Structure 1
Amino acid sequence: MRRGLKITLVAVTGAALTLSASACGGKKADSDDGGGGDKKSLKIGLAFDIGGRGDQSFNDSAAAGLDRAKKNLNVQTEEISAKPDEPDADKESRLRLMANKGYNPVIGVGFAYTTAIIKVAKDFPNTKFLVVDADQCKVEGANVSGACFSEEQGSYLVGAAAALKSKSGTIGFIGGVNVPLIQKFFAGYQAGAKAAKPGIKVLPPKYLTQPPNFNGFKDTGLGNEAAKGQLDQDADVIYHAAGGAGIGVIKTVGQAGKWAIGVDSDQYNQPAVAGVKQQILTSMVKHVDLAVYDFVESVANNTFKAGTKQYDLKNDGVGYAPSGGNVDDIKARLEELKAKIVSGEIQVPTKV
């Protein structure tokens, strides 16, 4: 069992919230006095995106960073998930609740938290805030940090992999919600595919929902149906950027004996897709865990800096997963393309 205290916050209805706490066996968490001269214990509040911990994709990558902080640093945590189609007021309410309870720093996972965090941070100038996937990579405030990712760079590499491994000559892309962030994934994917194999056919992107409906990041049924549609159009490699809904994509594509490409986490090792893991070609890994841990560590060490930080191929903020060995035969080509992106020889587009 993990040493220390685990505190979980659960949304009930609207902005109503209930708190439950349970202690694991072993020694109690260090007190704020930090016995023996330790630093004062940080109390981290983290608000997940839709799907929460357990989505086996974007949120779980954030959770891994939080878990690493609990393991390596003197911290306590509180976490909560978003609800589909909730108003910004609900996001503000949970952020304010955590800040009022003394949680510092406070983290919002997902671009949808950007506006709420900037607003709440003004009322809590002594609390440090992080928004993961800051909308348009912009934040405001002396106590606000934003983590941004070059998703298009990692997507370029998995697009190249898709084109090189396709036998039908047709590949597909399924995005969770039609927003600029997810459009970046497709732009990089298409560019990488066409660079690796100019004659490849890239189907028009399929977005599961349109904003303000964000259920496309959660509903596996929508992912399943979209995957069937692209398989029917002869796609034999399909890349998803759909969070939890992507589990439906992977299962459907895998069961059809075609290649699926995961996103955010290395999905080859996720329990939900264990039955079709051999059909996962690769995953575009987005190290949200690194961004969360870097931020917490900066607060703990008093090295926090406001503004945005970019995570890209150069600093291993994004990349592709080799798990399963399915890209071993084309890895040299992928590494060649990666080196050209890092050097600046290849400029990856963020828009189609």
Structure 2
Amino acid sequence: MTVNEIAKVLEELAPLAHAEDFDNVGLLVGDPHMEVKGVLVTLDTLENVVDEAIQKKCNLIVSFHPIIFKGLKRLTGSNYVERVVLKAIVNNIAIYSMHTALDNSKMGVNAKICEVLGLKNPEILIPRAKSIKKLITYAPTADAESIKLALFQAGAGEIGKYSNCSYSLEGIGSFKAGDNANPTVGTIGEVHFEKEAQINVIYSFEKEKAILSALFDAHPYEEVAYEILTLENSNQDLGMGMIGNLDVEMGEKEFLLLVKQRMNASMVRHSQLLDKKVKKVAVLGGSGAFAIGAAKSAGADIYVSADLKYHDFYQAENQLVVADIGHFETEQFTKDLLVDYLTKKIPNFAVSLSESITNPIKYL
């Protein structure tokens, strides 16, 4: 398989279009057409990880965090980022990053945290707004079903657990073909009236190119009339953080000790305990101060995240317990998730879990 082919498999889990605007995801180093001999999955791409890839004969590193985040003006090896990139290039190793594309995936980083903590029926904590679009098009009634089928096959009409969703209206369309036109129906220079169906389907924004291509290929008309609207609905299958429930409620301290044990955390920083039972838990891997308000609004008893500053803990306002277990600790199981995913998708391919230690934070 090539780097590109493996990237397409990864994009089925986390489309790059789902990444945040500030992020740098996808293939960061290497030839997309290079044949891959082995894949090494890591949380961070550091020099020791590149050395591990060389030792294990892996020429593709799939990393959660991007080693190149800001623009590089030179490659002289003067800092750890430049040294990693140079070593990868010299050893013909490609580097692919997923980061917030995987953060926003319903089966990504936060789903893995929910799994480790035993949270049931998890849902997206902050669904992505303005990521659902609506296509309205018009076609001869006789061709409507075949056009809808083509749109469905391209990914349109998916709502939660349902697929092939659409809405149609019938009416009369009119047009007059000009001198250089090649009309499928009607006569040049004459107004033609045609029984037509108005077809309405929704889709996730990243599928637009494929859906429009399917529309143009399937539609019989020389000129295809269509409209695209961006909906205000939030996408319940895409977004940051997750919230789920414990099978059996427990005390706050008991739950925090459970978090510390299951997430291999060296310490747990938390806001004032409220002497309440914990049932509903919100989580967000990585830096999560921005989602404290969403956790409160969702009725979470405890919010587990990382990188919280002193004043962030005040936002708990005695409505929930806010807990910081460390950035690495919230995301460490991401590489296990990716190894499991790739092993199932390409079972006859060499996929290795990195053994390199990349957490830069140490505790006394």
| TM-score using structure 1 length | 0.27
Q: Higher helix proportion, which one?
A: 1
Structure showing greater radius of gyration is 2
Q: Higher strand proportion, which one?
A: 2
